Amino acid sequence: MQYYLKHLKERIKEKQIKVGVIGLGYVGLPVACMLADVGFQVVGVDILPDRIKKINKGINPIEGKEPGLADLISRVVDMGGLVATSNYEDLQSAGLVLIDVETPIDENHIPKYQALRSACHSLAEVIQDGTLIIVESTIAPGTMARVVRPLIESVSGKESGKEFFLGACPERVMPGKLLRNLHSMSRVCGGESPEVAEVMVTFYRNIVKTDLDPADLITAELTKTAENAYRDVNIAFANELALICQSVGADFLKVRELVNKSPGRNVLFAGAGVGGHCIPKDPWLLAHGSQGTVDLKLIPAARAVNDSMPKQIFLLLERALEKFDIPIRESQVAIWGYAYLEESDDVRNSPSQLLYEILKSSKADVILQDPYVPGYQEDELDSLENCDAVIVMVAHQVYRRVDLNEVKNRLKKPIIIDGRRVIDPKEAVEAGLQYYAIGFGSNQLIK
């Protein structure tokens, strides 16, 4: 193994290496803290002065409930293990640098790499010979070869694989479980050479207590984007099957239960849409990685199916209001759930936002309610005042437990649209409500 890599490995084992982390958000901050907690000296770089200030005071700047993170930040900052800065010069003495910046896509589903390019450019201006640079952000396959390597080589004047080294180790964290995931989820250590991958495994072994799989760069990039594209395609299948069940009068949940009794089947849950910061984006990163060499049909089609689900909810509402001769433009509707996921306050790419826009463009009055999202936290029953219908968009527990008789009493019209199948249809009808749901054939109630 090259001198530099051998020396890196020794310094990692002795923890005699300063680690840089660029981007102190959902991914970068927890990993910076965990590395400091196991004895590395960590320098975190971010562009947000307020976030830097909070971290250096030992305060957690990340919203949402992240068990253990606030205590961990205050502990590692107190012990001097983690220092946050906006100054890339502070990375000069780092022998290993992680890049954890955002990698969004634009309206044409093309990756927006401004943050990644800026981080690489600024880092390249200060790196010393022998530095290992690992991109943890989720990136389109081929990005390390086409974007990261040439940029760092041209700015630093150094040669990758000789004077500095490149790795890709995509994060696998979920909001609300950041620290647990970092410990317990396997990681792919993609190195530009097997020797680099080996050094990465040695490094991550300090914080990851499960499989660390050495691979090459493209395999690591493909794995992360494929695992989320896989989930998106499977959710889309559930959604399309649900629309078939709905149209032929069956109950998707019953069909799903029986299909999944067949070995090797695992139909997921149909619902009001697919939100979050991973699943709507990563299929497009995977698609971009194919660079137009494959005529992709399934991945884009799955995205279209999932993005159409809020419109399917709208069509159910239109049908329900028609029975009372109420046009959408004269209706008032309560949307229960604004987060993208149950028991979460994260609203990124929330299907509820899309439904809200569709309703507003149809001139309906819309009330948003969500127990987790600041600004929408009024009592769920109070939110129904003067409403002609209520739409459940997120499977928050509070909606599962709601008193359906009270719902009936508060609504102007007895319409409930269950976008996540959290309400029992029979109980809804017994309470005098007209029940509609994705994947629920209307004649299911006729007995």
Q: How far is CA 197 from CA 1, 153, 168, 217, 274, in A?
A: 12, 20, 9, 9, 34
Rounded to an integer, what distance in angstroms lies between the CA atom of residue 294 and that of residue 37? 45
What is the nearest approach in angstroms of ligand SAJ to the Cβ of residue 422?
12
Three-state SS at 389: strand
Residue 445 main-chain phi, psi, to 5 deg: -90, -15
What is the nearest approach in angstroms of ligand SAJ to the Cβ of residue 229?
10
Looking at the Cβ atoms of 26 and 435, the one nearer to ligand SAJ is: 26
Three-state SS at 407: helix
What is the nearest approach in angstroms of ligand SAJ to the Cβ of residue 93?
31
| Residue 20, CB-side half-sphere exposure with 13 Å CA sphere | 31
The residues that touch ligand SAJ, with contacts defined as CB under 6 A, are 172-174, 227-228, 231, 235, 268-269, 271, 274-276, 278-279, 340-341
| Catalytic choice (120, 169, 189, 224) | 224
Instruction: Specify the DSSP class assigned to residue 299.
Output: H
Looking at the Cβ atoms of 271 and 371, the one nearer to ligand SAJ is: 271
Looking at the Cβ atoms of 136 and 380, the one nearer to ligand SAJ is: 136
Looking at the Cβ atoms of 195 and 418, the one nearer to ligand SAJ is: 418
Q: How far is CA 336 from CA 10, 123, 373, in A?
A: 55, 45, 11
Residue with tokens 């494959």: 294
Q: Which two tokens mark 54?
A: 């909070």
What is the nearest approach in angstroms of ligand SAJ to the Cβ of residue 153?
30
**CA dihedral angle for residue 428, residue 429, residue 435, residue 437, rounded to 10 degrees:** 70
| Catalytic choice (278, 281, 387, 408) | 278
Q: What is the largest CA-CA distance in the chain?
A: 79
Looking at the Cβ atoms of 83 and 105, the one nearer to ligand SAJ is: 105
What is the nearest approach in angstroms of ligand SAJ to the Cβ of residue 294?
22
Task: Name the residue number minimizing CB distance to ligand SAJ.
Answer: 276
Looking at the Cβ atoms of 77 and 339, the one nearer to ligand SAJ is: 339
What is the nearest approach in angstroms of ligand SAJ to the Cβ of residue 110?
20
Concerning whether 278 is annotated as a catalytic residue, the answer is yes
Concerning whether 245 is annotated as a catalytic residue, the answer is no
DSSP string, 200-232: HHHHHTTT--S-EEEEEHHHHHHHHHHHHHHHH
Rounded to an integer, what distance in angstroms lies between the CA atom of residue 33 and that of residue 45? 13
Residues labelled catalytic: 224, 278
